[in-house]
Chains A and B, each alone.
Chain A
Amino acid sequence: MLEIHNLNARVEGVDILRNLSLSIKPGEVHAIMGPNGAGKSTLGNVLSGRPGYEVTSGEVLFNGKNLLELEIEERAREGLFLAFQYPVEIPGVTNMEFLKASVDARRKHLGMPDLSSFDFMKLARETSKKVSLDPAFLKRGVNEGFSGGEKKRNEIMQMMLLEPSLCILDETDSGLDIDALQVVAAGVNSMRDGKRSFIVVTHYQRLLDYIVPDFVHVLAAGRIVKTGGKDLALELEAKGYAWLDDEGA
């Protein structure tokens, strides 16, 4: 699914990712944890192609394709999805227009016929209910005036509509109360089908009680310093990150 080899990336001239390697197979859920400034968000941004994130060396293969050569929108159409840590507000562009444009682009790429406006609206309304978003939100500007939780649920809704093969959740749990967290987690879990893969970037172990990972990686100073099973997250929760330095990882 995803093969990252010795990835080095910088932002504004500062090296953030250093020789990061990671391999993800279909159906796996990988959690990435780590202290602030470790490069957790950078990884998602680099993979999605965010402007300003410069890859200096390394290779990323996504379903056998050289991901780093693709435009931002091509990566998305190929099935890569990044749920933003800070979803963007776009007043004047309605959620419905935005979602339709996205889904149209993905379907076209997959050689599927366009959904009619009627069918799409129906699908969008049904999906919004799955993440407990009032369908009235569809007529509002993209994320305009949404609360933090509503924005995150909107991200999950987009993920459901686009049916990506690799989902990267960038601190989707940050700032959520327990109810919203459960809605988000249920949405993610409903999409686990044994083929779709997930990278769950989080600061808090709490999320992993709801989205149970196959692997937990600790990212520090731009590379993965430790990998384990789901129990590693509990250990980190109990001991913090400092002991990893002592281990000389």
Chain B
Amino acid sequence: MTDFQQQALQLASQQQDSPVWLRPLRGEGAGQWQRAGWPGRRTELWKYTPLQALQRTDFQCWGRAQPQSAGSASLLPLDAIRLVFVNGVFDAQASTAAHPQVVHFSAASEPQRALIEKHLGRIVNTERHLFASLSNAWVQDGVLLHVPRNVILDKPVYIVHVSTPDAEPVIVNQRLLVVLEENAKAELIEHFVSDAQAQNSFVNSLTEVSIGANAELQHYRINLEQEQQIHIGGVHIDLQRDARYRGFTLAEGSQLKRLDFQINHRGAGAHAALNGVYLPRNNQLVDYHTNVEHWAPHCTTSEVFRGIISDSARAVFNGRILIHPHAQKTLAELSNRNLLTSDKAEVDTKPELEIYADDVKCAHGATVSQLDETAMYYLQSRGVSKTQARTMLSFGFINELLQELPRAEVRDYLHHHLAILFGTATDLS
């Protein structure tokens, strides 16, 4: 066990407010965390993403329960069921009134508790996801979004995680469980943000999603933290028969940022669409690992990730699609395109396709390129300066994915935020 593992475990064991019924999961998580080998350069899942930033930091405590405010972080202007957490601590003032479908684990009703016990820590595969076992070892509270059978949630659920610097470096665990029963429908926005100051926390964030038969989830997961923030996050999704998942994820870089998406097609006819954008700059890193597994026939997957890597930044994209023997008539597509805007920028991209069924249609591809010279010339030939042409083209590269977002408030927010980032802010619409 490394010092960091020991330290994290010790801190986890200090948390004793957890409901008794979560203790078995905690024990299981602690055991796995203790036994797990620490990832190094030879660990395939962590090959390009060193964890030194974690080991360097002397974490003193978990996010503390002290009254804090959302600070200067800007939130989406959205009519939503909103839950705001600051360094992992629920901020009731910044949140909307309690909603029966969105509850804290500690306040769960008996039937909701049964749901949590059934799904929590069971959708994620801890063998493959080391930091999920740390999350389990810690689990004390979290949020359950539960939409019963045939219910369509009338408002989106907007969960904001604000990071703000603490006196000592802290570890923050975020836990979310989404359970959509048959024919249910919901929209979820997870927004990770920090105030502008240098951050000193490590956010370990785990979201598990169970989408029942013919149910549908529209999901946004947006990581826009300050660059000192360490973030390791995972989204793990089980899709039952004819279930639909549509996801969009966007991440700016930080000194260490790793995001895993695991999608399991468990029932026939399920559909998953996941689009993503990563934008590391300076010396930042973003690592996306996606793993889509088709266990059942007639399911479809569409996945498009685009990255712009600038300055001396680095990105890792590993997109795996695995078609198990029974998953006949699968349709799956994965595309990853990268734009390097500097000679020092780097991307390690690896699309993987593993097929064990014989009647499927799959495609995957990855490209790495620089800005299109012909497009540059075209813009310049109309009087646009080289610098402006560059920013217009970079922004255009990801704007294609932004334009498709169904929720206008998210689209406009990101458009505005990124236009400033790229220096192309205009008010043309």
- Chain A residues with CB under 8 Å of chain B are 48-51, 71-73, 75-77, 82, 84, 87-88, 90-94, 96-98, 100-102, 105-106, 109, 117, 120-121, 141-142, 158, 162
Q: Are B383 and A93 in contact (CB under 8 A)?
A: no
The yes or no answer to B377 lying at the interface (CB within 8 A) is yes
- On whether A100 and B426 interact (CB within 8 A), knowing A93-B392, A105-B385, the answer reads yes
The yes or no answer to B335 lying at the interface (CB within 8 A) is no
A98 is contacted by which of B373, B382, B403 (Cβ under 8 Å)? B382
Other A-B pairs, 5, CB within 8 Å; known A93-B395, A96-B428: A92-B403, A93-B399, A101-B379, A102-B384, A109-B383
Measured CA separation A48–B381 after assembly (Å):
7
Measured CA separation A77–B427 after assembly (Å):
23
A119 to nearest B CB, angstroms? 12
Measured CA separation A248–B349 after assembly (Å):
60
Contacts of A49 in B (CB 8 A): 380-381
Q: Are B396 and A141 in contact (CB under 8 A)?
A: yes
Q: Give a binary string over B370-407; 1 marks a CB under 8 Å from any A CB, 0 the rest.
A: 00111101111111111010001101111110010000
Measured CA separation A96–B380 after assembly (Å):
16
- On whether A121 and B392 interact (CB within 8 A), knowing A72-B380, A82-B381, the answer reads no
Q: Are B382 and A162 in contact (CB under 8 A)?
A: yes
Contacts of A48 in B (CB 8 A): 381
Q: Are B384 and A141 in contact (CB under 8 A)?
A: no
Give residues 335-381 of B contacting A (CB, 8 Å). 372-375, 377-381
Q: Are A117 and B426 in contact (CB under 8 A)?
A: yes
Q: Are A101 and B384 in contact (CB under 8 A)?
A: yes
- On whether A73 and B378 interact (CB within 8 A), knowing A90-B393, A92-B395, A97-B392, the answer reads no
Contacts of A94 in B (CB 8 A): 428
Contacts of B400 in A (CB 8 A): 91-92, 141
Contacts of A120 in B (CB 8 A): 428
Measured CA separation A98–B383 after assembly (Å):
10
Q: Are B396 and A92 in contact (CB under 8 A)?
A: yes
Considering the complex, give the chain A residue whose CB is closest to the CB of B388. A101
Q: Are A98 and B379 in contact (CB under 8 A)?
A: yes
- On whether A162 and B392 interact (CB within 8 A), knowing A91-B400, A117-B426, the answer reads no
Measured CA separation A102–B381 after assembly (Å):
9
Interface centre among A100, A101, A117 (most CB of B within 10 A): A101
B377 is contacted by which of A51, A100, A141 (Cβ under 8 Å)? A51
Contacts of B395 in A (CB 8 A): 92-93
- Could you show 18 A-B contacts with beta carbons less than 8 Å apart? A73-B381, A73-B384, A73-B385, A76-B382, A77-B383, A90-B372, A91-B396, A92-B398, A92-B399, A93-B392, A93-B399, A94-B428, A98-B382, A98-B392, A100-B428, A101-B384, A105-B384, A141-B400
Contacts of B393 in A (CB 8 A): 90, 93
B375 to nearest A CB, angstroms? 5
Measured CA separation A174–B378 after assembly (Å):
19
B404 to nearest A CB, angstroms? 11
Closest 3 pairs (CB-CB, A-B): A92-B396, A105-B383, A93-B396
Measured CA separation A73–B388 after assembly (Å):
11
Considering the complex, give the chain B residue whose CB is closest to the CB of A92. B396
Contacts of B378 in A (CB 8 A): 84, 87-88, 90, 142
A83 to nearest B CB, angstroms? 10
Measured CA separation A141–B397 after assembly (Å):
11
Q: Are A162 and B374 in contact (CB under 8 A)?
A: no
B291 to nearest A CB, angstroms? 28
- On whether A97 and B428 interact (CB within 8 A), knowing A73-B384, A92-B399, the answer reads yes
B378 to nearest A CB, angstroms? 4
B380 is contacted by which of A76, A106, A109 (Cβ under 8 Å)? A76
Contacts of A158 in B (CB 8 A): 382
Give residues 410-429 of B contacting A (CB, 8 Å). 424, 426-428
Q: Are A97 and B380 in contact (CB under 8 A)?
A: no
Measured CA separation A109–B377 after assembly (Å):
19
Measured CA separation A92–B424 after assembly (Å):
13
- On whether A162 and B427 interact (CB within 8 A), knowing A90-B378, A93-B399, A101-B388, the answer reads no
Contacts of A72 in B (CB 8 A): 377, 380-381
Measured CA separation A223–B378 after assembly (Å):
26
A160 to nearest B CB, angstroms? 13
Measured CA separation A176–B92 after assembly (Å):
64
Q: Are B426 and A73 in contact (CB under 8 A)?
A: no
Q: Are B381 and A76 in contact (CB under 8 A)?
A: yes
Contacts of A102 in B (CB 8 A): 379, 382-384
B403 to nearest A CB, angstroms? 8
Considering the complex, give the chain A residue whose CB is closest to the CB of B428. A96
Measured CA separation A76–B378 after assembly (Å):
11
B95 to nearest A CB, angstroms? 35
B196 to nearest A CB, angstroms? 28
Measured CA separation A106–B380 after assembly (Å):
11
B42 to nearest A CB, angstroms? 39
Contacts of A97 in B (CB 8 A): 392, 424, 426, 428
Measured CA separation A50–B380 after assembly (Å):
9
